[in-house]
């Protein structure tokens, strides 16, 4: 049957079987359900373009929605569930490059001093280790090795080893085995919970702490490749977006050009 409920259920199973992260699958399914509420499964390329051109979406949202549709229809075509993929040759969505927005040092200090141990550790992991909220949520005590390095489970199933500060090592080693932040019933907390707790403790969401980490790490080392590896970026161009140059560094550039 090629009804939406059956198609979405089968697509979700396929994505899980391919090893995609739960958060990635949930995000794609959310966009697909919105699309399914307004359209039949078999649509034209023009229909897809019209839906993606809606006025109430930011470019980043439009890009994510396009990615979800492309993934679904590629699967449906390969699986023989539809004859024609309407997303073939869709133009890419241009997302304007935003300025870096690092969290302030006062937000770091406030979050690290939080009376909640979990929130304080989450802030340190974001600000002092550059971890994403999904990476923080999935951490286990066993991910910290004897050399003080964290095995971080990043996007797309990629793993990396990140050395962490002694204060973070000590806090992790004081925890019981298993997830550092266990869920209410099973598994670990949802990444949105990490975002909620970090924001409540510090006044900032987790992502600006990654910008803060990148900015300070690059300022202290000028090692773009190292910062890229620490953040788990596949391209140094992505890392550059995270780094805010200090005013005095920009002033040096101006004087050099004078």
Residue 82's pLDDT is what? 93
E runs forming strands in the chain: 149-153, 159-163
Q: Residues 149, 155, 160, 240: which is the catalytic one?
A: 155
Rounded distance, CA 190 to CA 179, Å?
Answer: 12
Nearest Cα to 153, choosing from 139, 133, 169, 168? Answer: 139
Among the listed residues 140, 190, 216, 233, the single catalytic one is 233
Model confidence, pTM:
0.72
Q: Which residue has the higher pLDDT, 122 or 55?
A: 122
Q: Which two tokens stand for residue 219?
A: 């300022």
Active site residue 233: yes
Quick one: pLDDT band at residue 254, thresholds 50, 70, 90?
Answer: low
Q: What is the mean pLDDT of the chain?
A: 90
- As to burial, measured by CB atoms within 10 angstroms (0-12 exposed, 13-18 middle, 19+ buried), residue 62 is middle
210 catalytic residue (yes or no): yes
What number of other Cβ atoms are within 10 A of residue 171's Cβ? 19
Identify the band that residue 204 occupies on the pLDDT scale cut at 50, 70 and 90.
very high
- What span, in angstroms and rounded, lies between the C-alpha atoms of 48 and 136? 35
Condensed to tens digits (0 to 9), the pLDDT of residues 88-128 reads: 989 999 877 767 788 999 999 999 998 899 999 999 999 99
CB of 138 closer than 8 Å to CB of 188: yes
pLDDT reported for residue 248: 56
Looking at residues 186-202, what average pLDDT do you find?
Answer: 94
Q: Considering the chain, tell me which residue range(s) the CATH 1.10.150 domain(s) occupy.
A: 4-78
Are 136 and 181 a contacting pair, CB within 8 Å?
A: yes
Q: Give 3-state DSSP helix, strand, coil % of the chain, rounded to 5.
A: 55, 5, 35
Give the pLDDT mean for 26-48: 95
* For range 6-24, the mean pLDDT: 89
Q: What is the pLDDT of residue 247?
A: 53
Active site residue 242: yes
Fold observed for domain 4-78: DNA polymerase; domain 1 (1.10.150)
> What are the start and end residues of each CATH 1.10.443.10 domain in the chain?
105-252
Catalytic-role residue among 188, 210, 211, 216: 210
User: Spelled out in words, what is the top-level CATH class assigned to the domain 105-252?
Assistant: mainly alpha
Active-site residue, from 20, 132, 175, 212: 132
Residue 253: pLDDT band (50, 70, 90) is low
pLDDT at 122: 97
φ/ψ bin of 106: left (φ > 0), alpha (ψ from -120 to 50), beta (otherwise): alpha
31 is catalytic: no
Q: What is the pLDDT of residue 251?
A: 56
List 39, 45, 77, 207, catalytic entry: 207
What is the 8-class DSSP label of residue 232?
T
In the residue annotation, 16 being an active-site residue is answered as no
- pLDDT tens for each residue of 154-173: 887 789 999 999 999 999 99
């Amino acid at each position: 049957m090629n009804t939406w409920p059956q198609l979405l259920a089968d697509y979700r199973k396929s994505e899980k079987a391919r090893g995609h992260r739960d958060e990635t699958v949930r995000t794609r399914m959310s966009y697909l359900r919105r699309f399914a509420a307004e359209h039949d499964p078999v649509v034209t390329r023009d229909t897809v373009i019209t839906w993606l051109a809606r006025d109430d979406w930011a470019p980043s949202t439009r890009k994510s929605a396009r990615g979800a549709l492309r993934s679904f229809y590629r699967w449906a075509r390969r699986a023989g569930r539809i004859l024609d993929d309407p997303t073939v040759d869709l133009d890419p969505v241009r997302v304007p490059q935003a300025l870096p927005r690092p969290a302030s040092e006062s937000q770091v200090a406030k979050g690290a001093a939080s009376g909640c141990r979990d929130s304080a550790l989450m802030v340190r992991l974001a600000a002092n280790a550059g971890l994403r909220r999904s990476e923080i949520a999935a951490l286990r005590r066993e991910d910290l090795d004897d050399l003080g390095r964290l095995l971080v489970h990043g996007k797309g199933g990629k793993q990396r080893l990140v050395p962490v500060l002694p204060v973070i090592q000590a806090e992790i080693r004081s925890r019981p085995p298993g997830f550092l932040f266990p869920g209410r019933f099973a598994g670990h907390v949802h990444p949105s919970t990490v975002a909620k707790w970090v924001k409540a403790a510090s006044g900032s969401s987790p992502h600006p702490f990654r910008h803060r980490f990148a900015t300070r790490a690059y300022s202290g080392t000028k090692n773009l490749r190292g910062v890229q590896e620490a953040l788990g970026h596949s391209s140094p161009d992505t890392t550059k977006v995270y780094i805010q140059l200090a005013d005095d560094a920009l002033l040096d550039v101006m004087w050099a050009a004078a």
